[in-house]
Amino acid sequence: MDPLHLRSAGTSLLLAFYTGEAQIVHWGADLGDALPDLSLFSAPVPHSALDVPIVAGLLPQASSGWPGRPGLRGHRTDAGVPGFDFSSALRIVSAELDGGDAAVVLQADPDTGVEVRTSLRLGPSGLLEIRHTLTNTGTTPYVLDELGLVLPVPGDAVELLDLTGRWCRENHPQRHQIAQGTWVRSGRHGRTGHDSSLLVAAGTAGFSNRSGRVWAVHFGWSGNHEQYLDSLADGRRMLGASELLGSGEVVLAPGAEYSTPVLYSAYSDHGLDGVTERFYEWFRARPQHVATQGAAGGSGKARPVVLNTWEAVYFDHRIEPLIELAESAAELGVERFVLDDGWFRGRRDDTAGLGDWYVDEGLWPEGLTPLIDAVTSRGMEFGLWVEPEMINLDSDVARAHPDWIVGPAAASHKDGGRLPLEWRNQYIIDLANPQAWQYIYDRIDALLRENNISYLKWDQNRDLTEHGHGGRPSVHEQTLAAYRLFDALKASHPQVEIESCSSGGARVDLGILQRTDRVWASDCNDALERQTIQRWTQAVLPPELVGAHVGPTHAHTTGRTHSITFRAITALFGHFGMEWDIRKASGHERAVLLRIIAIYKEHRGLLHSGVRVNADLGEPNLRLHGVVSQDGSEALFAAVVLASLAAEMPGNAGIPGLDPDRTYRVEAIMPTSEDLPVTVEGDAYSPFVQITPPAWLDGGLTATGRFLAEVGLPLPVLRPEHALLLKVTAV
């Protein structure tokens, strides 16, 4: 059988079949048209080993001698004894191109009654998508334990970077040398998880933002999962991921099938920014991607300026203050007003009401209409917070339907069944139960039909621990049922945008983002924390999908205080909004908010369509990041000082990503004399710590893109936890 070669955007994927099974011979740099005889590239046979070359298959198997992590684990039960048909010998049945950019490979083992169809697509951006579908072709049930997706990485990929975190500190990078053995990251949260790695990247020594070869993967699944790198003693390495299934969670009846989530993979020969480019192009080419006015190919409405009420009023829902907040928001130019938690029956705090998705008649005797009218009459959209997958014991629905509450036992807690531990005083409603699913759908559907709601902030505030349906583990079923709920509501209300919020960034993945229009990257609005959270969330997700809000001067999650200019510049590089009682903002703070909102509205077409750029700087506490337009005609950059610098002066910072042969005008647009002095809780000071500024700071400078990249821009001496916003325009 002839090999299959997929090529796109400088990337090649080469599949060979000369051993009788499918194997990926190469994933990486483009190989060109001419290919040698691939059978000559079979591995040698060393001493003290199997007598034939060991194949690292598309689905690694013990039947081919693979001693590492297997791609398939499963078995059948015979006469009540488990463990039969534990090792399949999948061999090629067919392999063919599916259009110019995709391939479909079918492998089967009639003896164990297993068939696996693998779909591979290398899209126009160079992003590779892989998915397996396993069919039970046997005559008895097949218990599936794991079906993994793996890709080979070469021996010069010697460093591994992944992301981790916790609540209010999501998506922080960690890096280590690749050593022999299997490195595994397990996510057992029943959701993606605050500590989940949005990206796992293997690269050449010292790979960075703008240099080095990188092979990176993302697993598009919102439930339990594992990500791993298998590094064998023979030198081969496999980068992979799989759904982490509970004991007996997936049992396939004869003829039934299971499909893995998609593994999204990107190769870059110019560092992590090259990986980011591939993901951004893929996102923005989707038909359901949010349209961006002013962006290339974007003809829809621009991403609106948001005000969310949580950190303004918390559970204090009274119409008069909320209308005052709406008036204040409209004066600043807000375009979307979102009412957060606390509007529904019995919800005075976080101990009651979840599941009772009816407007609280005590708080809202006329319903939400008076507030919605106050918002929409001022030219803003109205949005609403919901948490449809959760339930409080102190709720009408829990009292009426205790069997809808998820627990590890088959019996409901009213009948002696044990519940999992509480989390924020709440449990999970069993969406795998058709009646419970229909109830939730009907209630959210009614809210959207009966009210002028343009946006849902969809929260999910707890892990799915001990998650079961009918006494068996069911995270898999719950995740699919949640997806169906999103899909059904989207189909019925296509005009309504949905944000995925999961106590911040605990459900950020490409599975949920096939159904939602943005994510809430973190419950932390501290601008210093957000610099890292947003940088690494945006390693995969384009900024138009990442909510970024100006929080209060005093951050309630960290206790830190920051200037309004630092908070504003940080929030600019995302889907901009505010989460703050802006009625209490000082005159100076409101003036800066008016300026940054005007800057956002002027440049959101650029911010939400351009190329993300992260400079490589030697000083770890100094960052320079920005967005360059696709045609290279304009850019916005932020120079950020996170903490004190080792040197007295930051020195020259090269500005990457510009057209080297064009001439550009560089200007500082915030803070300027309009914003100075900055104030923090009434204390006025300058963010600059210098006797004289760099000569260009007050009037700008003109230079070629090559000069700006190689010689760089002399930065002013900024205080720690401050930023400078730069505008770059071709002249």
Does residue 449 belong to any structural domain of this protein? no
Whether residue 156 is predicted with pLDDT greater than 90 in this model: the reply is yes
Closest CA to 302 of 602, 49, 16, 70: 602
Q: Which of 360, 523, 526, 675 is catalytic?
A: 523
Q: Which of 195, 341, 430, 459 is catalytic?
A: 459
* Window from 163-167, 268-272, 684-688 with minimum mean pLDDT: 684-688
Residue 267: predicted pLDDT: 98
Q: What is the mean pLDDT of residues 412-438?
A: 95
Is 523 an annotated catalytic residue? yes
Does residue 227 belong to any structural domain of this protein? yes
Does residue 434 belong to any structural domain of this protein? no
For 550-571, give the DSSP string: E--SB-TTT--B--HHHHHHHH
Q: What is the mean pLDDT of residues 562-566?
A: 97
Whether residue 293 is predicted with pLDDT greater than 70 in this model: the reply is no
Whether residue 673 is predicted with pLDDT greater than 90 in this model: the reply is no
Neighbouring C-beta atoms of residue 340, cutoff 10 Å: 21
Final residue of a structural domain among 285, 315, 345: 285
Band the pLDDT of 100: cuts 50, 70, 90: confident
Neighbouring C-beta atoms of residue 584, cutoff 10 Å: 11
Sheet of 611-614, strands arranged across:
611-614, 622-628, 634-641, 722-730, 663-670, 701-704
Is 661 an annotated catalytic residue? no
pTM over 0.75: yes
Per-residue pLDDT of 680-718, as tens digits, reads 888 899 999 999 999 999 999 999 999 999 999 999 999
Count of the separate structural domains present in the chain: 2
Does residue 323 belong to any structural domain of this protein? no
Helix (H) or strand (E) holding 264: strand 262-268
Does residue 22 belong to any structural domain of this protein? yes
Helix (H) or strand (E) holding 332: helix 319-332
CB 444 within 8 A of CB 388: yes
Cα–Cα dist 326/315, whole Å: 17
Residue 296: predicted pLDDT: 46
Q: What is the mean pLDDT of residues 186-205?
A: 98
* Window from 268-282, 583-597, 676-690 with minimum mean pLDDT: 676-690
Q: What are the b/e assignments for 78-91, b being 16+ CB within 10 Å?
A: eeeeeeebbebbbb
Q: Which domain holds residue 151?
A: 4-285
Residue 681: predicted pLDDT: 81
Peptide bond into 543 cis (omega under 30): no
* Window from 113-117, 206-210, 296-300, 695-699 with minimum mean pLDDT: 296-300
CA dist 228 → 12, 64, 130, 148, 383 (Å):
23, 21, 16, 10, 39
Does residue 592 belong to any structural domain of this protein? no
Whether residue 298 is predicted with pLDDT greater than 70 in this model: the reply is no
Q: What is the mean pLDDT of residues 119-136?
A: 98
Does residue 313 belong to any structural domain of this protein? no
Per-residue pLDDT of 51-87, as tens digits, reads 999 999 999 999 999 999 999 999 999 999 999 999 9
Residue 297: predicted pLDDT: 47
Q: What is the mean pLDDT of residues 487-498?
A: 98
Band the pLDDT of 529: cuts 50, 70, 90: very high
Helix (H) or strand (E) holding 589: helix 587-607
Whether residue 592 is predicted with pLDDT greater than 50 in this model: the reply is yes
Domain of 77: which CATH number?
A: 2.70.98.60
One-letter amino acid for residue 425 of the chain: N
Could you give the count of Cα atoms lying within 13 Å of 137 in the half-sphere of its Cβ?
15
Q: Percent of the chain scored above 70 by pLDDT?
A: 99
Residue 412: predicted pLDDT: 87
For 20-75, give the DSSP string: SS-EEEEEEE---S----GGGGPPP--SSS-SSPPP--SS--GGGT--S--SEEEE
Strand partners, 665: 702, 729
Does residue 73 belong to any structural domain of this protein? yes
Closest CA to 15 of 116, 120, 117, 109: 120
Band the pLDDT of 679: cuts 50, 70, 90: confident
Closest CA to 117 of 128, 127, 131: 131
Final residue of a structural domain among 252, 285, 318: 285
In the chain the first and final C-alpha atoms are separated, in Å, by 56
Q: What are the b/e assignments for 108-132, b being 16+ CB within 10 Å?
A: bbeebbbbbbbbbbbbebbbbbbbb
Q: Would you put residue 12 in left (φ > 0), alpha (ψ -120 to 50) or beta?
A: beta
Cα–Cα dist 380/382, whole Å: 7
Whether residue 292 is predicted with pLDDT greater than 90 in this model: the reply is no
Could you give the count of Cα atoms lying within 13 Å of 646 in the half-sphere of its Cβ?
5
Domain of 699: which CATH number?
A: 2.60.40.1180
Final residue of a structural domain among 285, 311, 343: 285
